[in-house]
Each structure stands twice: as C-alpha cells, then as structure tokens.
Structure 1
C-alpha cells in the first residue's frame, strides 16, 4: 500500500466563510464604500487590523454553526426530546392504518397469538355491497387434542378477539361480512425413521412431530426485527403497513390461495433434524385410519389439517424410530413388538416413552407460545441520533484577541496612563460593542435553535438576545445607560423580530418534513373569528397538527370503532377540525351540545321578541340614531360575563362576530344601549350599560359567540355501508328500494349551516373541497348543510342508531337486527328529505 509522502494543501472554503474569504470580502466592501477617502488597506493600518479581528470572530461563529444538527437539539441532560422537536421515530411515523387485505392479515397474525394463519377476502362483486371483509381464521391447535367443549369455547373467544381487533382498525366504508373459524381435521404421523445415538429417542421423536406440525399448520412466519436489519432491510421496508409488535411478517405467505402438504416436504424437513440419519418412509394417517401422502386445501374449505400426538401404543408405534446400529430390546427400541401381540410390559414401556415425548412437546409448545406472545419493544432496536450538549452561547470578547496595548482586554489600560488614553480605550470598546452584541446574539440564537424548531406553544420569539456583562466584555458596565438590562436588549431585538411570520415559516418547514401542507391561505380567507390574531391562530393550528401528526396521518382513513361510545372523534374528523381551525382537546363530537346547555338556541323571531320585552327598551331605534363604538386599547375583562339572556340565534351567530355591526344608542351622558345591526339593517338592543364599559362588553360578547361557533363547527361522517340491511330473514322484511351503489364507497358529511363561517357559500365550497381531499380517493362524499333544528334531529337519530349498532357489534354482528335496520332506514329517509341540490357537487 502506497504511503502519502506529503501534506495535502488546505483548500479554501467554497462558501467563502474562512478567514481569507471573509477578509477579502471585507476589503472589497471597504474599497467600494470608502475608496475616495481611504486608500491604505495594508496590514499595518488599524482599520484593517480591526477588520481582521472581526473576521476572526466570524470564523468562530462559522465553526460553531458547522456542528451536527443533533448537537444543536441536545438538551442539558444530554438527550434529544424528539417529540418536542416534532421529530418522530420510525416506528411512529412509518406505519399506517391497515388498508389492504394483506395489511389486515399481518395485523391479525401479529396481534393474536392464537391465530396460526389468516386469509382476508374483500367483496368486490357487482351484485353485492363492495368493501365487506370475509375473514377466515386458522386457529392455533395444540398437538394434544382437547374436548369439543373446550375447542368450541376457544373458537368463540378467538372470533370475539378478531372482531374487536378489526372494529378498532376498521377503515372508512369497510365492514365485516363474516369471520369464519376453520375447523381442525386431525392427522397423525406414520413411517420409519433411522436415527443415531446423539440425542435421546424421545427428544428426536418430539422434534419430528413438532416441526411437522408447524409445517402443516403455520401459514406465515415472524422474523425478528434485528434479523431483518442484519439482512440489509431498511426501516422503511420493515415498517411498511401496520405496525407489528413481534417482528417482521412476510406478507407473501398470505397470497397463497391454496396450500398443499406433501410428504416429500415433510421428509426434507425431518432429514435436517439433528439425530436423524435417514427417512425410510413417511405418511399421514387420518382419524379413520386412512393413509395420505398428499393433502391440499384452500381458505374456503371448512376444515384444515392439523397434527395431533395421541398417547396410545398403537398411534405412538405408527412412527418408528430405528437405530442405525441395529435393534435392541429395551425402552429405546420398541419397534420389533409391532409384529407380535403387545404384552402388558411392552405397553407400559411404550406409554412411558409417550410420556417422555409429551414432555418434550410441551416444552416446544411453551417456547413457541412465548415467542408469539412476547411483545418486543422496537424502540430498543431503533437507534436514534444522539448529540453532545454544547454551550454554543459562550462568548469571549474580541478585545481579548487584541494586543494589551489597545487597552480593551481584561488587563485594561494601566492606571498610570492619562485620562485621554482611558477615554480612547472606552471609545474603541464602544465602537466594537455593536459588532460584539450582534455576534453574541447569533451564538445565543444557536443555543436556542432547539427552541426555535420545536412545537412549544409558549415560545414568543424567534430571535434570541444576550445582555453582555463584564464576564463577556471586560469593564463594559460603565459604558451602559442606567436602564440597560436583558429586557432592554430583548425589546430592541423584538422590534426586528417578525415573530408570527417567522414562527409560521418554521412550522411550515417542520410540516414539510412529512409532506404536509397546511391550508394557510384558505384559512386566512375564511376565518371569521380571529381577525386581530390570525397569525397566532395559524401557529396554534399548525402546532396541533404536528402534535397529533402520526396518528392523524396514519389513521386519516380510519372509521368509527363501532364497539366504543359515540363521544369520541374519528381521526378524519379531528384532522378536518384542525385544518379549519376549530379543534380543541375539549371538543365534543356533538355539534348541537354547545347550544343545548347554559346557552340555548332559539329562532330569530323568539330572540328578537325577547329583546323587545326588556325594561325601558327604546322603541324608536333606527340606524341614523346610532353611534359607533370606539375600541379601547386595553380591554378590561368583565368577570362572570354571560351572553344576553343565555340564548343565541342564527342572526346573532352570523352577525355578532363582527365588531362593525355593533352600535350604541345613548340614553344619557353616562349610559347607552348596546345594539346589533343585522344585514337587513334591523336594530336589536341588547343591554343598557355605562358607556365606558360598552367597548369591553362588545369584545367579550364577540369572543363568546366565536367560542360557541368554533365548538359547533365540526362534522359528522355517516358511512353508507353501515346502513345496509343486517337482518337476513325476518317475518317482516324492510322494503328498501335502494341499489347496492348507495352502500358502496359512499359517505354523507353532515355540517352545521348556522354559524357565521359555515353560512358563507365560499367557505362551504372550500370546506367541501378540503374534506374531499382528505378522504381516501375511492370514497364519494355527499354534503348536507343543516340548520340547527334539523341537525339536532339528525343527532338524535344517529345516537339511537349508534347505540343499537354498538350492541349489535358487541354481539359480533349476531342476534336480532330488526331494530337496527329500522333505525338505519330512518337515517336514509332523513338524508333523502334533507338533500340539497348543491350537495351533488363532486370534488375530484
């Protein structure tokens, strides 16, 4: 190997950020700005010396900027808070909700150790409702036969577990048609195998039985994650589809429509077992005693072959283990007794041998079950980047790099020097101070890079300043004004910090890491409730999306879990509410509850009549007699504020969120009526108040109406496939003149039409388009914009239907479904009656 006999030449920084590059740029700028007065740019010039000093300081900033990203994100404890940075590990961000039939197979096989194999078939026939799943489960069967009662109980429990799992992972417009447990058909082994003395005979016998049983029964195989990584598979490939907890599952095994078992496969398997020298013959024996050398079945068959170990002398001796050194009459060699009638002694020997085999088989089954049931922690395998905590904001004054004769380092100017020298040193220190403050602020911003690129809702700045004290710049304190402190430096920098704009851009970049684009332009255009705080509202919405990003992205196509109460939001509903800016952690799935509690919804007529019945209400109100309400700079919050009369109507919801619609009608120099001017210029008087309180009262009224409106601005997603007839045979079947297309890949989106934003047609167009974009591409939505009374009727019908649906689902879709079918039909009729012509718009 040749040795390098010279030192490689140091190359210049390609970005021009090394000392030579910075000095060259500085000289060029000086020449361009002051060449008419300053022509000496040689090394001895003091100005050039200071320029080089500043360039040297900048190289330190460049050096610190080049550390790894992990170092910038590492906290004082030496760890990176990945969730605070909205940086999610592979096991959280890569997996998704099961979508394909193979995804559901992997999910069932992984989550339910009692499943030996599984097939999922989706109904796509033209004459049937598409999207229904038929699931065929091949249960795990012990090598030891159980009673029929125990087997039936085991199968029923397994069916319930599969149903609960699929209900929790159900997709929109998908449902379960049937779950069929494939019944076992028992076989035993027969044949002659030649063995050696390396292992006990019973252990070899048990090994043969167990491995053959797994080959006959098992359809798939789980491989540990670390083994797949060692084989070179990436995390993207390993974590494609639903997250598996036990290991990687190759989905190709679920693609087999049929499966054949040939004794050749079994012989090949047995020959690789330690202690086996040769296989002279092998066959399968069914319960009737018939011999088989080939079995074939598919997932539509009602039965599947399994291997049972039966501890009777005849069945044990069907599989004979022959030593290659010849037969011997002892407990290890009982095969010669097959040619003679079994004596009592030989039967005891065979049964004792069978007990030894059974112990080894139970050991194998225990190990296998432990592996299937052990839930590995994938986070122990995934190696996340780790950095080193560094004090990036440590700052040393530029003056420390100048010769002591300048008098601005920690030695200072000797006391023996005249005052003029002391004054010049202070002047130089003050001259360099702006440069030092800028560089110190830059390093302080580096220190807070993890705060800037975080989803901390309390963050209130994107530029970070540091107040330089005598620890950083020697004897700088006497140069400061008396009021100079950290707050003063922060206030100066805050004037240059367009926080809300920069914060929004940072959050956009974090969303961009995951391919997410927040509909900022549309939300600005159609936001009715945050006119003065729209930027902060956008920040809050983006942080909400980043906080729930993994579950909202992976589960955006998930449907309602029919076995749970109806109070929870689906992932799609939660995602839509975040994107339109109406989500909060305390939001309810009901869209009418905010107007059915302390605040009641009434009609416009009833509300207006209530206002006119107030004491001393003016009767001669007209627009020309009203005055504008001046807005105070600082609002004084009114304690225990309540909306007038504890009621809201559509007109107040739609007009009361705009401050320009409010006026006051003076009754004296100190008091006036607060009035609202509707779109038809009708004047509504609300309350008689002192004039100095009116502005704050109006603002709190606007805020209260906005909060109620946002709580109402959600949606209901009604899947048509769940409305299909359930009762196959009834005495009085329901007459439904409805085609299968109505139930196939269709949803009805129910929205309130009475809030200010949702009453705007342009906002409706945007929301319909947004919902259509977020839905899976194969699902066709119908939109229903309902007034409050109709929406309340819908929720009553839906709640009744969901309760019956939950009871039906808890019974695994069995039992009397006539009441459920009747409720489904009532919902369908409600949709027909309230369908608006505009709801036929299709967004593609």
Structure 2
C-alpha cells in the first residue's frame, strides 16, 4: 500500500517490545544456542525442533491468555455463583462499617434499631462516667418503663468496653404548629401547597433526625468508604448527628418560599405552647426537641392561602392525608437492603482446565493425528516425548481451574492439582499412561505438596487484604496438648477461624459482653472472642469450671495423691515408657469413661491440681511390673525425691497402656476446655459504690481479667506473661487492664457471684446486694495479687 493511500489499514505496533509469542521464541532460541551450541542445526524454520518450539510457545501464550481473565471469572465455579464466604471475602458494607463509637454513632444506631423512638441524645455524665440518655417517644404504644428497657437492651447489644448507659430521661417535645399567610399561583393545588408546607416545617424542626438513603448518597458520588463510615443503619443515614444548638425561624423562609405554587410568603410564625415565636424557638436541656402538630378538623386552619385578594379554603382532612403520604414516601426511600446496594461482582464460568493438545497444531505430515492403530513406533516415540510437555501444560490449567479450592480456607488437604488427558484430547493416550497413572501422580504431588506451608502463605495473603496478620511464633512454644504435626495443623486452623471471623476480629475487637444475652453463651463480646482466638483458648461460651464439674469432680491445689517412693533397685523395673497408641473412641465417650473408672487417681470427688498439669504428657507415665500385676505410675511434677503416683493396676500389660493413653487424652481435653478468661468492667458495678468499702478509684477505667491457673499451659509462667501481654496490648488505651490467674476454688466462687449479679441485671432487679458481693470479692482478689489494699479472699 502506498504511503499516500487513504484506505483502511491496521495501525502498526508502536512499541519496540515484541509480542509474547516472539518474546518466548527468542528467549528459547537463546537458551538453545547457549546449551546446544554447534550440536544444533542452523535454526531455520524447516528444522523440526524449531517447529516443535513454535508450537510450544504458542501453547504457552494460551496459558497466559487464560491467566489474564478477570479475577471473578477465575473464581466462578461451574454453577455460576461465587461463594464469597467460602473464599473468606466479606462485602464492603460489613467490613467497612464499624460499631457505634461516639455518642453520635450510638444515636444513629438507636434511632435505626428502635422505631418507637422519635429522637434520642447521649450525653456524658462527668460525675459517673456513664452516658445519660435524653429520649423522645415517637408514639404512646409503650409505657415509659418499656421504652427505657428497650433502649437499655438495644444499647447493651452494641456496647464497647468501659462504657455503660446510666440514667434515661424521657422528655415531651414541644408541640409546634405553623401559622402562615401565602400568596399562591392560580394553577397551584391548595392541598398540595399546605401539605408540603407542613412537611418542610417538620423536616426543619426535626433536622437533627433527618435521614438520607444510602442509594441517594451513593448517587451523589460518595465512595463505599465514605458511605459506610460509622455503624451500618439500614433505615437510612442521619444527615446531622450532633444536636441542634438553636432553631432560628429565618431558616424556614427560603425553603417555604420555594414550594411549587407559592408566589410569596407573606407571614410566618410558629406557635409553641400557646406562644407565638418569630425569631427562635426555646430549647429543653439545651436540646431542640419538637413535634409538628396538624390542626384538627373544625378548629380552623392556621395556614391562610390567597389567590389575589381572595382567600382559598382548604379541607384539613385532605391536607392530613397528603401529609401522611409524603412521610410514608420519605420513609420508603430510606429503607434499603445494604446487600442490594453493594452487589458483589459476578463472573462468567470458564472451563479453564479444558486442554487443547499441541500435537493437533503440528503439520499433517507428522502423522500424529492418524488412527492410533496405524502409527509407527517412531510416531509413538514422538507422542511420548511430547506428552512430557503436554502433561505440564494440562496440569497448569488444572491448577488454574482449582483456584477457588486453592484459596478456600476450608480446603486444608491439597494445594497442587493435576489432570489426566483422555482419548478425546489426545488419541491413544491410554497406551502411554500406566494403569495406575492417577495414583502415581497423586503420590508424586503429595510428596512435594507442603500443604501447611503453602496454606499458611495463602491465608496470610487473605488476612493482609483486611490489613490483618496473625503472629503465632510465641504461641507455638506452648503446644502442651498437641504433637508436632497436630500442633501445626491446629495453628493453621487458627488462621482459618481468624479469617472466617474477620468482622469480629476487626470491627468488634473491643466489643463488650451483652449482659441481656444468655449467660455463658452469647454474652462474651468481641474482645473476649478475639483473645480466645489469638491465644487458642478452648472456652468462650461457658464457665471455666464447668468442664471439671460436669464429671462430678473438683480440683484442689492442696490435696495430694498417695505417693510411692522407689529406691534404685526398683527403679530399673520402673523405666518402661508407655507407647502411644490410637484409641478407637473419643476422650469423653462412654467407652473412655469406663476405662477411666479403673484409674485410682480419679476416684473421689476432689482431684489434685498437679494431676491435671502432669498427666497430660504421656512421657510422664511409666509401667512397673510387681509380681503378676502391671502398675501404671505417674511422675509427680517438681518432686524432690523419686516420687510417683499410682494410677492403676492391671493383670495385662495392654490394660496399663490403654489407661495411660486414655488418661492423657482425657486430661488434655479437660485442661483445654477449662482455658478461657472472664472480663469484669468495674464501671458496671457502680451500684455497690455506696455499700462496698473500696476506694473510688476502683471504678474509674478499670478492667480485671480472670484466668485459671490450674491447667498445664496457664500454670506456665511464660504462657501467663503471653496472656497478660496479649490482653493488655488489645485492650483500649484509656482502660487500665489487670490480669489475674486464680485457683479453681476461687474461680468457682467468682462465677457464682458473677452469675447472681448477671441474673439481676437481666431481670431488671436491684443490683446493690449482688454488685456489693462481687465488688468485695473482686477487690480481695486484686489485693491478694498486690494490686489493691485489703485482705486476701477466703476459699
């Protein structure tokens, strides 16, 4: 084509970089020259090796093309719906929104949660440190006591650590009725004009509780990050969260003048409590609390409309009906399901693993597309040689197809994937494959598939998407209840749980317990949940002494079992370690209980605390043969002499082995299920302030965290330091947090007092007695740890 041609033409590539195919080919040729040197041919196109190289480079470009699909296409399974929850991905409205944090946030949340509220403001009481609520009821369907109880329950469900709602005062808003004279156009609808005037007056009077819909804010150009700042309120977003300082009537004139059909606003005033106000409205306790009142039928209309010099009459009932329609339409605009507002990306399913063999791309004279029965040995040899490359390419596509499984937190068994080609892809392939080819490839991949390490990296990446990480280096030194392999699996599962609870771990990380929820079940709070997960604690949903008490046992730090002192002559027969065996029953099953019935150390109601700490380790057990009997002995921890406890005596050696394994597993489970923590906020115990003789500073910004000291991990000073460091590091900076490790007896007594107090809170009963008993005992525990002044608690 000539240079001056104006016909259609393809634009030349302006970039100096070659395309991917040529780039791959040039790189491969450079490698061949370096490796083969003069042993290769002249590298011309007629060379069969160059032909194979070109086909391989072309196939590699196909892999790159499929990798460039949109990420939602790569994650879409065959049924066409991406399972975001299974992939550990959270919608923006849940991960970007936060808990109520400020007084304005609580106002937004409470107004959205309680439609029976017209308005509410939370004010800080500087004397007690509590929130004081000033509320206005929207209707009279509930008594004041019922409304106050609903506010407390709703607030408690979203309360943060160190915060509490104190006094609730219900105020009557000032009844306001507009009085105005308007000049209207001839084409104006009088009913519509008056209804719109009342509607705009209501908006201006209740400006601090005016809302906008999420859809409207999104249409205004707000990003998701701006849209979901603060708590998520499906009922709409408050335009102004802060209370109005004053209400000036001059702000009404311009909005009323702009009503369609109004030619001029001749006169305007507001009547409040039979007084006319022309400049500003009065406040109640510094708050602007008003309600608009419509005139009743037959009482005359305070709004006068004029068409020229002629006054226009308006039916009050028609105005009231149109006014209610406007309010209903406004509320319907606010309501929106957040999930509909933020539709998650949906991809298109693509059969990524579908493989097109490169042998089909070779010239016909190679003869590889013929009937397999007509192929010569040399052609079969070429097929087998090319299969090495074919299998690598097919496996890559299989790996790409399994991306959802690879990134799924629930899939912890495999990270490498492969596929076998079939006759439809490559004719005669079964002749080249071994009979058990799938099993052989599975064994090869399992040999190199370090699932734990690869999954740890993938989970670290998914956590990093939310700006989170989980450091487990310190925790892995305290795997008292796991073997090396099971401990590694446990830490991987810990990351999976962290990712699945990412909203609680981030948004609710300082959430306080809901004291109106079920005790030991739902009333734990996000702060306790996060600490339990970070420290891999076994108990968050019930008391810490229940695991022991349900077996009708009690632990004691003072009681000791009958000890056996062995001399050197008997020690030789003692040193028979107990082998680990796999038991065909669970540690708490009936079969296990029957085996444990033979354990002498568990007979009786009170069990030594040392048994729980020493008996978890199978290496602490020994079997000694005394005559025809086999005695199972347990080494006494920290004993000065060669001191042992007798656990059981058996006629057969296997009976002692089974009991040792069963007892070790049972005590491990008992210890793990007893590990947890209780968080006590001193601010909630102010009801005891007048009766409990403790310093006033006891209530100011103080938290006490109670942990057990009777399990093997919690008896370790190193793990105690790790617990204290983790709790204090994650505690809000304005709170003083102290961690105490107490005995089983003291923990049991505390939980009884705490349950008594919690039951009184939930039932709305007086708290003086229960709070006083709890404060006095808690103060004594802190004094015993050297934190307060007073006497140590009695057990």
Provide the TM-score with structure 2 as the length reference. Answer: 0.89
Query: Is contact 1:173-1:744 (8 Å) kept?
Result: no
In structure 2, the partner of 1:336 is none
Q: 1:407 to 1:528 in 2, by over 3 A?
A: farther
Shift of 1:185: 2.2
In structure 2, the partner of 1:591 is 544
Query: Is contact 2:243-2:287 (8 Å) kept?
Result: no
Q: 1:174 to 1:32 in 2, by over 3 A?
A: same
Query: Is contact 2:295-2:302 (8 Å) kept?
Result: no
Query: Is contact 1:591-1:714 (8 Å) kept?
Result: yes
In structure 2, the partner of 1:451 is 405
In structure 2, the partner of 1:385 is 345
**Of 120, 131, 134, which aligns to 2:132?**
134
Residues 343-382 of structure 1: pairs in structure 2 closer than 5 A: 353-368=315-330, 375-382=335-342
In structure 1, the partner of 2:305 is 321
Secondary structure at the counterpart of residue 351 of structure 2: coil
The CA distance in 1 between the partners of 2:62 and 2:318, in whole Å, is: 75
Q: 1:474 to 1:504 in 2, by over 3 A?
A: same
Secondary structure at the counterpart of residue 267 of structure 2: strand
Shift of 1:694: 5.1
In structure 1, the partner of 2:56 is 54
In structure 2, the partner of 1:106 is 108
Q: 1:10 to 1:133 in 2, by over 3 A?
A: same
Q: 1:600 to 1:761 in 2, by over 3 A?
A: same
Residues 438-587 of structure 1: pairs in structure 2 closer than 5 A: 438-456=392-410, 458-482=411-435, 484-532=436-484, 533-568=486-521, 569-583=524-538
The CA distance in 2 between the partners of 1:193 and 1:178, in whole Å, is: 45
Shift of 1:444: 0.8
**Of 218, 222, 225, which aligns to 1:233?**
222
In structure 1, the partner of 2:251 is 265
Kindly tell me the number of residue pairs found equivalent between the two proteins.
Answer: 766
Deviations 1:614-671 (A, max 9, x none): xxx99999644323436468665588123436575322222222232222213479x6
**Of 682, 693, 700, which aligns to 2:643?**
682
Query: Is contact 2:504-2:530 (8 Å) kept?
Result: no
Query: Is contact 2:694-2:776 (8 Å) kept?
Result: no
Deviations 1:569-616 (A, max 9, x none): 3222122111222347xx53211100001262333675623x88xxxx
Query: Is contact 2:208-2:238 (8 Å) kept?
Result: no
Shift of 1:797: 1.4
The CA distance in 1 between the partners of 2:631 and 2:515, in whole Å, is: 52
Shift of 1:67: 1.2
The CA distance in 1 between the partners of 2:302 and 2:351, in whole Å, is: 76
Shift of 1:287: 3.4
The answer to whether 1:767 aligns with 2:723 is yes
The CA distance in 2 between the partners of 1:459 and 1:409, in whole Å, is: 41
CA RMSD of aligned residues (A): 3.2
The CA distance in 2 between the partners of 1:387 and 1:198, in whole Å, is: 53
The CA distance in 1 between the partners of 2:50 and 2:288, in whole Å, is: 92
The answer to whether 1:629 aligns with 2:574 is no
Query: Is contact 1:192-1:279 (8 Å) kept?
Result: yes
The answer to whether 1:747 aligns with 2:747 is no
Secondary structure at the counterpart of residue 55 of structure 2: helix
The CA distance in 1 between the partners of 2:499 and 2:191, in whole Å, is: 59
Query: Is contact 1:413-1:425 (8 Å) kept?
Result: no
**Of 266, 270, 293, which aligns to 1:308?**
293
Shift of 1:514: 0.9
Q: 1:358 to 1:430 in 2, by over 3 A?
A: closer
In structure 2, the partner of 1:419 is none
Deviations 1:148-186 (A, max 9, x none): xx48x5554443332221111111110012222221222
Secondary structure at the counterpart of residue 260 of structure 1: coil
Shift of 1:806: 2.0
Q: 1:626 to 1:34 in 2, by over 3 A?
A: farther
Query: Is contact 1:261-1:295 (8 Å) kept?
Result: yes
671-680 vs 74-83, which deviates more?
671-680
The answer to whether 1:736 aligns with 2:719 is no
Query: Is contact 2:704-2:739 (8 Å) kept?
Result: yes
**Of 783, 793, 816, which aligns to 2:749?**
793
The CA distance in 2 between the partners of 1:649 and 1:210, in whole Å, is: 74
The CA distance in 2 between the partners of 1:510 and 1:89, in whole Å, is: 14
Residues 271-286 of structure 1: pairs in structure 2 closer than 5 A: 271-286=257-272
The CA distance in 1 between the partners of 2:566 and 2:747, in whole Å, is: 36
Q: 1:637 to 1:435 in 2, by over 3 A?
A: farther
Deviations 1:516-562 (A, max 9, x none): 11122122122212223122111211111111211332111111112
The CA distance in 1 between the partners of 2:332 and 2:342, in whole Å, is: 23
The CA distance in 2 between the partners of 1:631 and 1:22, in whole Å, is: 58
Shift of 1:13: 6.8
In structure 2, the partner of 1:721 is 683
Query: Is contact 1:73-1:449 (8 Å) kept?
Result: yes
In structure 2, the partner of 1:146 is none
Secondary structure at the counterpart of residue 83 of structure 1: coil
Shift of 1:758: 0.9
The CA distance in 2 between the partners of 1:469 and 1:383, in whole Å, is: 40
Q: 1:318 to 1:30 in 2, by over 3 A?
A: closer
The answer to whether 1:64 aligns with 2:50 is no
In structure 1, the partner of 2:763 is 807
In structure 1, the partner of 2:119 is 117
Residues 146-295 of structure 1: pairs in structure 2 closer than 5 A: 150=140, 153=142, 155-250=144-239, 253-256=240-243, 258-262=245-249, 264-288=250-274, 290-295=275-280
The answer to whether 1:818 aligns with 2:773 is no
In structure 2, the partner of 1:641 is 592
The answer to whether 1:9 aligns with 2:16 is no
Q: 1:697 to 1:493 in 2, by over 3 A?
A: farther
The CA distance in 1 between the partners of 2:483 and 2:470, in whole Å, is: 19
Shift of 1:237: 0.7
Shift of 1:696: 5.3
426-435 vs 502-511, which deviates more?
426-435
Deviations 1:362-421 (A, max 9, x none): 44444455556xx42111121321111111111232322223443433544736xxxxxx
Q: 1:199 to 1:526 in 2, by over 3 A?
A: same
Query: Is contact 1:402-1:409 (8 Å) kept?
Result: no
Query: Is contact 1:96-1:240 (8 Å) kept?
Result: yes
Shift of 1:34: 3.8
Unaligned runs of 5+ in 1: 142-149, 334-349, 416-421, 728-732, 840-844
Q: 1:701 to 1:139 in 2, by over 3 A?
A: same
Q: 1:281 to 1:90 in 2, by over 3 A?
A: same
Deviations 1:269-319 (A, max 9, x none): 22122222212112223334x322123445624883433223265x52443
Q: Which has the higher contact order (CA 8 A, sep 6+)?
A: 1
The CA distance in 1 between the partners of 2:515 and 2:556, in whole Å, is: 35
Shift of 1:452: 0.7
The CA distance in 2 between the partners of 1:481 and 1:543, in whole Å, is: 38
400-409 vs 445-454, which deviates more?
400-409
Query: Is contact 1:623-1:683 (8 Å) kept?
Result: no
Unaligned runs of 5+ in 2: 1-5, 790-795
